[in-house]
Amino acid sequence: MKVNVTPIVDDETPLGDQDPPNHVVMVDIQGLRYPVRSALDPSYVHKLARYVDVTMDAASTAVPIGESTKLAVLAALNIADECFRGRDDESRIAAELVEKAGELERLIDAVLNKHST
């Protein structure tokens, strides 16, 4: 089984500028070995695989033995939940920073106006 992993691309990177997968990294998840074709650093691919493996181990307590598809779906839902919560936190923090920057700008303007008169 080949699993293609592509690097996460930010909004500023055109799709045509992405690096093509250039190597295969063997990873172990739930006792099975998978070749992962990727342009990502191999140590990062191993880190991702370990994370998936640990998440699947944690989810396995809720899934009967032998139901690997349900286990994979439950683990994927847990990982997606973490991803979405992280994005929400990032958005909230970014909004707070913009608000604080605005407050600082108003304070600096007030001080400059006070001293320029």
Q: Kindly report each contact of residues 44-53 with a partner whose C-beta sits within 8 Å and lies 24 or more positions away, as own/partner.
A: 45/5, 48/5, 51/79, 52/79, 53/28, 53/29
Strands 23-29 and 32-38: antiparallel
What would the pLDDT profile of 83-92 be if each residue is shown by its tens digit?
999 999 999 9
| Cα–Cα dist 85/92, whole Å | 10
> What is the pLDDT, as a whole number, of residue 12?
52
What would the pLDDT profile of 37-56 be if each residue is shown by its tens digit?
999 999 999 999 999 999 99
What would the pLDDT profile of 88-112 be if each residue is shown by its tens digit?
999 999 999 999 999 999 999 999 9
The pLDDT of residue 68 is above 90: no
